[in-house]
Structure 1
């Protein structure tokens, strides 16, 4: 495959299907904004320009999160304003805008176009993929066949749970007792079965292997029972001494120890005597040992093989065990999908996945070509941001829309090296499929984020391996160049530049995961203390805690680092908490406290509430309540007060009263984790208050609270833990959430940590997803895909840093096995490049000798961070030095028509005309030419006029003539003409709100 071309945003062709691969820090958003400007201005020659200039509502920009859409909208708006100012001034320091100035001849027209675009950016077609699909289904309801009245369900977890419970009841309750018992051994309750289906329900095009859909569970169970009964009958009728038969054979002594064989035969004897049909895993393994073929394989060379009809019977039995787990998983997947879709249809609900599948089905239907044509007319050009995170449905939608229309444009922008969201449906193999289908590939070659040394170090690390991302033909590593902007302000410590890449190496034998994690958590905290306490500087400013980020894989790694930082008095904050607030200790404590408030006369509830950690009662205080009856009565009276406040003002007011009365806020904040606990408490109180609006009384709310304690949902955005502080603190964040961010200094203490593939989900040669139903089998492809994603995670982590990055490296073992698992990790894969783990020290020595890379022992220092020097804090109000504009006011047509022309009013900026009506002194001798004719009223004239306009294309002489005709028809004086001309023109240019109405406009005070 040919190498991609370097992208020049000024000559990039604005039509056809094109792929842009933008490595980390190479200015992807800058490039999107540049292409956006060109589309607005119609810039380019006959080979690169779009067919015609486009408006902001004709350029579709799609990304994958709400936060990303807002960031893109703001960045594009700022870029448009910069370009407009440049066209007004005729000069710009930005090289791209300067080029536009040279190549766009009419600067005045360009400034007007960009000014209108900036004003209309609220109407810009910048959506999430789900938002785009939702709009298309609504706006083209007839073509798409979608319902007019549907409700978007943001969290369909309760619906999935309901569908699973329906399947469980309808299936399990009808099964024979022995089969139901066998199922309960596999999944003790329905939610465990639903957990095994997690991620599979929404996987498009999933193929199950093996495909058992043609088998009936009940029929297969009867056949299994018959085979087992026949074997048990044969075993009972056997009078031979099987132990003697086995001992007379020449079996391998290691596989068939004399002390083990009698116990194995006894286990089979117990199985035959029981009612059990399917053996557990241990018993199944024992039975396989007595299969005739296994005994033959384990016989010594030229030895005698033990033979008996029962051994052949056992072998036949083991070859035909009922695949119960596989059968139920396949059936449950089909049934839960069907029931989930039926429940949504009956309730007219749509989940986020349904928006994609709905538009996908509509485009594949008979009306699909008509729908696709309508969407292309609406959006001639589409820019798909973060395209590496696409999935088969998303790619089908956009390729189906644009692949057959070369005059339109589909620009897919992303970086396959940063495709790290497989857990939420992103499919790198869909990206690979799209990359192979698109012939025009472009890339961005210059990194604008990091220092030259940092970029060179990352390049060296990934260039060590010939296939650094495994799928090297489709995901190549192309070294990027350094822009050098960050070099101007280097990171210095003790007067010396800090190395770009520091490798902490613990030599010696492989260590366990716990020891590895503890060692490098301490090393990480020690290095942070050294940087912050040693006066490290970036250019002229002192390095601050907020400049440092510790990247981790999960909350357990974050907790280890946070604990080490806390011992050294370093403030930190974890920014990736996806745990539900209902799974915290504070949730259970608050539940007990509210139980006591609901029933303050119940002594057991009061004692349970007082014993919880949230009320901060020590043993002496609790004992005093037992010894002093008056103190106990005072406590009951206090909780009765809380009960009355709850009844009158709600649960949120009650929690606030509790905090104030017991001074809990200040006491909690004095604890090491007090901010976290107080944040969780207030978060819970807000959720309870919101839920109380829909529930009846205290019992209903407490029932709701209890249900959420039992089933917390970390995927619900409302339940996710909130950030406890945004002050100057060291940031702890997962690698997944750090994508797109940058930090001056990055610490990656656990890059060797990894998890083997948790499920046998992989892709076949046709890039179609396959799920192997067999329990315990992990195809090599699944593990290979896991390693490939870990390599992309490592790339994302290393490219977050601007100046310096620290890595913790040690040989690693798994469990009690002393064998190294280092080659299975992403960093080990790159470093070893096929070598054994014993070669690691020599490899690191070679790497550490290169410029910008430092090899050193892990720093271990328990010294705390020095407290900042105490100074006198003087408080005072800030002085306002801004300028308030006084040349405008908010007005309306009704105010203008009732009060006369704006030029007659006093200069009272910011006030509506009706507010200052009393300030006018009307001249009784002068006729009010701006008064309404008899029978007319405010609003009717302008509304009637707008109805006649060819909205929004009326302009110029046509608009003036229409206004004069309408004035004459209504009996108005011609003095209204210039006022209405300006007013209607502003209305036509005003942005629309979500109801399609024109927003408020600003009437210049100059008249």
Structure 2
């Protein structure tokens, strides 16, 4: 029967059905109002009514996960309606009645509109859409931008295809590092000294947060911050006045027992801090600037000096004459000037910090795209900006028209989170299209849920786009029915927000109604869905997190006793922990809740923050890939077989030595797997590998099998996806090894949730967006007092987003604070709309009787909506209750009887595997002990700024700790002594250029190349390679060696980048002549010594026990070798390293180690005393001892009749910058460890017996 003769059902108004299929539409939703349902419904209409093909439609959303979910929902919607139309063709009337009863209004609308022939056509169109579903683009705006640049490469001018960089963070770090070094090299020494003394010489990591924000707002304009001009004469004049001033006149006023001290107003700067008067006067006379640099803003001394800027408030009003007498004192005037110096210093330091932030931000913006482009890489943000610029500059609009023709329909979800460049692309392609063009643009968003400002989302962009939609004849629609929550909860939350609907930034709350789809019930006693909104009152903000945990325990206790139950499949059952979610602003807040819950044995679940690349499975896959590429490498083969994926035992590996046929079979198998990988791809080879070794059954028998299987499938999926982008087996292997060495927190690499994981769900509010939970607890809504503040201020100027690092403009600061408050309110809205059945919210501490706290302010973000007086909170659906006084005595699912746990006895002998570490870990991050030194003697510190060890300086220890656990996250930190021998400040590696200011370079003579040559590890490696390849007897071949190594290490490119002259080869030849002709011990020179071995590699075995680093330290101290307390090294089996040079002279064997350290611009800076100081500060004495021990052991084995006193010549440290032809007084330090020390250290380390 045709639907035309059926009674027409009244279809409620909803944008999904009422919206026209042409033009521009803006749908403003609210939480739980069915945005995804609306989008999938519109997609059906575009296919059925609009008769578009899947390849003509795009749908975008904010995240990959949301895109994947949307695509699944769309496909299911297509399948459902294809089946529905098939049934309606057979029995139209019955199907129509059924969908009316189910209130499927789109189905009702289409069945009433279409006849049988049209239904058949619609079914065929949906079948076609399903067959071509892969052509439907559903993804993020960033991925769509990448797709457009690839498809329209010629039109966009982007002929070179750039890959999205996976090393953006590393490249950004390098640019920041270079920018900081460049800035420091341009500053006068007094500025650097000032920053060191005030602890303001910051590292790269201190700027990373600001740079991330700047890169997220690429189109926002940065307000310049100039470098301040510090009035040094003010400090000098004040210092002079301090030395001449008589302070006794102030004692009567400022000393606690002074004659007029009682006339001071209580609880003010002078009266509260009078105890500092004697000490502060002595300190100021000694050194004003140093003293002010060390003052902390919360110290009594600071507050006391601050009082001289507010003298009027220090005296009682009745004692005005006394106040005038105090002000007229010369000493008072001097101290007022001291206070002005203090303010001037504080403001200058603040502006310097802001200037550095601005300078580094500008450098990153300018140089990062260039660096990535040189690598053939880019970022999503940069790519989006390029496309937006191309569209804007295309006056003919030809590119936009081509894209419109290719994709006439665009649906943009989560539009409130788009950034400025993304919106520019949407505007130029669809929003600003000519009216006669029959395209459709549907923008769906909820401005109340715009909480991703830290990622570049901006309400200014949304409001501008909303205005344009209206200007271009678009239509605005609203989703007003909440289908997520039960009706009483919808009413309670709606009433709360209607107390004050203004959220800020032109966002207002729109009332919503319950949609009626949620019919679940929560029974509390005899009542159903009673008071679903509960405000929990706490006395102090710091107790709110333990209160949340207590309330959860109490709720589970009530449910366990049958008091509170939830309806599931028409039956009431106890509440389980998985029904409950806790939402907070930060992970640290969730940690506090988790600690209390776990103490009560309540299971919890948190989204994993562990990367799959940090697992052992990832390393096992690398081992398998390596053996596929080198099947006849027995070491790699055995490693792959011993891994958790194949699981061969040690016994089986030993037996393999006696089974050559089996060994050959395995090698042949992996050879074939490698060929399979080469010809058919990684996934095909992997499937063959799993069949050959029964990997899945092997994993299923292991403990924690589900986690292993899920992680392995996840890894293989990621590797397969990458294999389709990367050409070549070795490139894919290198990519995987890079991910293992540098795992991140990217969403796609984090461990996935297991199906069996249950527990109270703990997550941040940002993570919870788009999710729903039956019962929700919300805490930590208010910002923490004294919490970390952003260095960037957001404000608006001429409808343009502006970023500023300066906080002195009151209007800008107010605009920034309003923006932060608006985003906080939106964050609270998201948190309060996640629950479907019951919502608990920690209410802010109660204000005083007048509604305010002691400082006159109303604290608590919820007071934006709550009446100040709690009597006004009353509502039938809202319960205000006090917090629990103590934790309920309830253990969730307490075991009825204890479980006996047996363990095997500890073995007497332990077997240690191998790993890798470096000798520098023995002394890393340690301060020197005050040990008397023999043979060196300590003198005043030199400006030792280049202390980065080169790879040749590392001694490697084979241990059983994984490589990643020992090396990752370790950074060599060396003391940087600037201007004062008593000031030590960890800093980034010093500027690679000579530290001459630009205004003095022209007047001062050029430095010799040995001092002007760049510094740092890269320059040191260059010098090492030159010395390895230089032939002293053939100087005519030196120039090609210099040119090659300067090019390999980009030395000249680095110099040109900073505007410095390139290295002169003649000067370099002169320098290396000095090095090769300098006098070594016993009259030798590097040029004359015949027997030389460069990069001498050694392996020292160590006993099968833990290395006793404490005993080593004691031994070295007994022999007066200056070594800091040594860090522990677990399970070291072998000591492995490389010595720069071993040479023989007059039957003695010497160790030579090259050092490129920069100690100063004079040869006198490289005399033995200075070298000993540098050896101590850089832990080189430990290196020298270990090197000599290695040579000692080697000669005992290889040299017949070896006698240490006769054959061992000691260690010669060659500081290349200070070496002079024919001289042994600069740049050369010779030291020989005693035979007793070597023998005792040899015995202490012991020998490793692999067969014991």
- Work out whether the TM-score is over 0.5: yes
CA contact (8 A) 1:392 1:427 kept: yes
Match of 1:516 in 2: 544
Alpha-carbon distance between aligned partners in 2 of 1:123 and 1:56, rounded to the nearest angstrom: 6
Match of 2:28 in 1: 21
Alpha-carbon distance between aligned partners in 2 of 1:822 and 1:276, rounded to the nearest angstrom: 33
Match of 2:285 in 1: 269
CA contact (8 A) 1:290 1:311 kept: no
Match of 1:123 in 2: 135
CA contact (8 A) 2:75 2:130 kept: yes
Q: 2:890 aligns with which of 863, 872, 875?
A: 863
Q: 1:429 aligns with which of 456, 460, 467?
A: 460
Match of 1:260 in 2: 276
Question: What SS does structure 1 have at the residue aligned with 2:504?
Answer: coil
1:20 positional shift: 0.6
Match of 2:180 in 1: 168
Alpha-carbon distance between aligned partners in 1 of 2:552 and 2:338, rounded to the nearest angstrom: 57
Alpha-carbon distance between aligned partners in 2 of 1:729 and 1:86, rounded to the nearest angstrom: 39
Q: How does 1:145-294 map to 2 (within 5 A)?
A: 145-154=157-166, 156-183=168-195, 185-209=199-223, 211-212=224-225, 215=226, 217=227, 223-224=229-230, 227-236=231-240, 240-241=244-245, 243-244=247-248, 246=250, 254-257=268-271, 258-272=274-288, 274=290, 286=302, 289=305, 294=310
For residues 495 and 183 of structure 1, do their structure 2 counterparts lie closer, same or farther at Cα, with a shift above 3 Å needed?
A: same
Q: How many residues are paired up?
A: 765
Q: 2:120 aligns with which of 108, 113, 116?
A: 108
CA contact (8 A) 2:604 2:762 kept: yes
Q: Which has the higher contact order (CA 8 A, sep 6+)?
A: 1
Match of 2:432 in 1: 403
Match of 1:41 in 2: 48
Q: How does 1:437-836 map to 2 (within 5 A)?
A: 437-439=468-470, 440-467=475-502, 469-471=503-505, 474-487=506-519, 489-503=520-534, 505-506=536-537, 510-513=539-542, 515-531=543-559, 534=562, 536-539=565-568, 540-541=570-571, 542=573, 543-575=575-607, 577-578=608-609, 666=703, 708=742, 713-715=744-746, 717-718=748-749, 720-723=750-753, 726-751=756-781, 758-759=789-790, 760-764=792-796, 766=798, 768-774=800-806, 779-809=813-843, 811=845, 823-832=858-867, 835=868
Alpha-carbon distance between aligned partners in 1 of 2:134 and 2:709, rounded to the nearest angstrom: 38
Alpha-carbon distance between aligned partners in 1 of 2:138 and 2:174, rounded to the nearest angstrom: 35
For residues 675 and 494 of structure 1, do their structure 2 counterparts lie closer, same or farther at Cα, with a shift above 3 Å needed?
A: farther
Question: What SS does structure 1 have at the residue aligned with 2:36?
Answer: helix
1:431 positional shift: 1.4
1:563 positional shift: 3.0
CA contact (8 A) 2:270 2:304 kept: no
CA contact (8 A) 1:506 1:857 kept: yes
Q: 2:408 aligns with which of 357, 361, 380?
A: 380
Q: CA offsets, 1:472-506, max 9 Å, x none?
A: xx32212212122223x322244432435242534
1:158 positional shift: 1.3
For residues 285 and 193 of structure 1, do their structure 2 counterparts lie closer, same or farther at Cα, with a shift above 3 Å needed?
A: farther
Alpha-carbon distance between aligned partners in 2 of 1:188 and 1:287, rounded to the nearest angstrom: 26
State yes or no: 1:390 paired with 2:418: yes
For residues 339 and 561 of structure 1, do their structure 2 counterparts lie closer, same or farther at Cα, with a shift above 3 Å needed?
A: same
Match of 1:415 in 2: 446
Alpha-carbon distance between aligned partners in 2 of 1:678 and 1:812, rounded to the nearest angstrom: 51
Question: What SS does structure 1 have at the residue aligned with 2:591?
Answer: helix
Q: How does 1:49-64 map to 2 (within 5 A)?
A: 53-64=51-62
Alpha-carbon distance between aligned partners in 1 of 2:854 and 2:739, rounded to the nearest angstrom: 48
Match of 1:628 in 2: none
1:233 positional shift: 4.2
For residues 251 and 727 of structure 1, do their structure 2 counterparts lie closer, same or farther at Cα, with a shift above 3 Å needed?
A: closer
Indicate the RMSD between aligned Cα atoms, in angstroms: 4.9
State yes or no: 1:321 paired with 2:356: no
1:171 positional shift: 3.1
1:820 positional shift: 8.8
Question: What SS does structure 2 have at the residue aligned with 1:465?
Answer: coil
Q: CA offsets, 1:512-566, max 9 Å, x none?
A: 51x3222222222331343356372315243544333222333233333333333
1:328 positional shift: 1.0
1:374 positional shift: 0.9
1:389 positional shift: 0.8
1:825 positional shift: 3.3
For residues 252 and 863 of structure 1, do their structure 2 counterparts lie closer, same or farther at Cα, with a shift above 3 Å needed?
A: closer
Q: How does 1:288-303 map to 2 (within 5 A)?
A: 289=305, 294-295=310-311, 301=317, 302=320, 303=323
For residues 380 and 192 of structure 1, do their structure 2 counterparts lie closer, same or farther at Cα, with a shift above 3 Å needed?
A: same
CA contact (8 A) 1:206 1:769 kept: yes
CA contact (8 A) 2:265 2:313 kept: no
Question: What SS does structure 1 have at the residue aligned with 2:139?
Answer: strand
Match of 1:890 in 2: none
Match of 1:612 in 2: none
For residues 202 and 476 of structure 1, do their structure 2 counterparts lie closer, same or farther at Cα, with a shift above 3 Å needed?
A: closer
1:442 positional shift: 1.0
Alpha-carbon distance between aligned partners in 2 of 1:567 and 1:678, rounded to the nearest angstrom: 30
Match of 1:49 in 2: none
Q: How does 1:992-1003 map to 2 (within 5 A)?
A: none
Q: CA offsets, 1:565-597, max 9 Å, x none?
A: 33333332112x44668999x99x99xxxxxxx
Question: What SS does structure 1 have at the residue aligned with 2:789?
Answer: coil
CA contact (8 A) 2:582 2:761 kept: yes
Alpha-carbon distance between aligned partners in 2 of 1:664 and 1:564, rounded to the nearest angstrom: 34
Match of 1:11 in 2: 18
1:40 positional shift: 2.1
For residues 561 and 272 of structure 1, do their structure 2 counterparts lie closer, same or farther at Cα, with a shift above 3 Å needed?
A: closer
Question: What SS does structure 1 have at the residue aligned with 2:16?
Answer: coil
For residues 238 and 443 of structure 1, do their structure 2 counterparts lie closer, same or farther at Cα, with a shift above 3 Å needed?
A: closer
1:130 positional shift: 0.7
Match of 2:154 in 1: 142
Alpha-carbon distance between aligned partners in 2 of 1:10 and 1:423, rounded to the nearest angstrom: 35
1:201 positional shift: 2.6
State yes or no: 1:87 paired with 2:115: no
CA contact (8 A) 1:573 1:724 kept: no
For residues 201 and 307 of structure 1, do their structure 2 counterparts lie closer, same or farther at Cα, with a shift above 3 Å needed?
A: farther
1:262 positional shift: 4.0
- Provide structure 1 residue ranges, at least 5 long, that are not aligned to the other structure: 44-52, 591-632, 871-1007
Q: CA offsets, 1:353-400, max 9 Å, x none?
A: 122112111112246711111111112221110111111111111112
CA contact (8 A) 1:529 1:570 kept: no
Q: CA offsets, 1:580-621, max 9 Å, x none?
A: 68999x99x99xxxxxxxxxxxxxxxxxxxxxxxxxxxxxxx
Alpha-carbon distance between aligned partners in 2 of 1:96 and 1:701, rounded to the nearest angstrom: 48
CA contact (8 A) 1:735 1:797 kept: yes
Alpha-carbon distance between aligned partners in 1 of 2:144 and 2:605, rounded to the nearest angstrom: 35
Question: What SS does structure 2 have at the residue aligned with 1:485?
Answer: coil
TM-score w.r.t. length of structure 1: 0.66
